[in-house]
Amino acid sequence: APAHQPITSSRKLVLLGESAVGKSSLVLQFVKGQFDDYRESTIGAAFLTQTVPVKDGNFVKFEIWDTAGQERYKSLAPMYYRSAHAAVVVYDITSAASLLKARAWISELQRQADPSIVVCLAGNKLDLADSQRQVSTEEAQKFADEEGLMFREVSAKSAEGVEDMFKAIADRMPIDS
Ligand code: GDP
């Protein structure tokens, strides 16, 4: 048991990426342990929280902002991510175009977000890797390394890698004192 009162640090996390790459599904899997094949993209919960244990008995409480499909209709306001402590930039491993969109998001974050933001590039739909993969692990890993980003391949459907990714992000969040 910790020798001190546990500290819970609230941290804003945003998900960015092309429509239908699985942003809402990743949030749903992380927060509720659920996956829904037929969920309407635009009915994503706009705001959810999930608390994750980190070192020394402390906790990070993620305040997760999903775009809830807004990227389909208009460009997202920078206010959405400007105050974020962490960003998960999602692409779909079965769509090369979605990696291009992820690259554009990362450029935008580098120009507009807080320089201390923790960014994770996430290749989703890993469950489809055998039959439909278009983006190799090596290509995405190389890009992430060049840009100094975390990188994970995940599946919101099978849950593979999802909790591990959010925990790894939490471990990089500064803790309030
Ligand atoms: P968003 O628009 O980026 O929030 O994407 P959604 O979460 O709405 O997902 C778009 C579609 O992809 C939905 O039909 C999901 O069921 C599907 N999907 C999301 N994640 C996965 C995954 O990991 N594997 C597979 N096979 N389908 C997924």
Read off the tokens for 176: 């309030």
Distance (Å) from CA 33 to ligand 1 centroid: 14
Ligand 1: does its nearest atom lie under 6 Å from the Cβ of 22? yes
Sheet (strand 150-153) strand order: 47-53, 59-65, 8-17, 86-92, 118-124, 150-153
Query: pLDDT band for position 65 (50/70/90)?
Result: confident
Ligand 1: does its nearest atom lie under 6 Å from the Cβ of 11? no
Distance (Å) from CA 94 to ligand 1 centroid: 12
Give the per-residue pLDDT at 40: 61
Counting from 1 in the atom list of ligand 1, the atom nearest the Cα of 154 is 23
Note the pLDDT tens digit of each residue in 121-132: 999 999 999 999
Say if CB 121 and CB 85 are below 8 A apart.
no
Task: Write the residue with the smallest CA distance to atom 15 of ligand 1.
Answer: 37
- Report the SS3 class of residue 71: helix
The residue type found at 138 is E
Give the per-residue pLDDT at 59: 97
Q: What is the ipTM of this complex?
A: 0.99
Q: What is the 3-state secondary structure (H, E, C) of 60-78?
A: EEEEEECCCCHHHCCCCCC
pTM of the model: 0.93
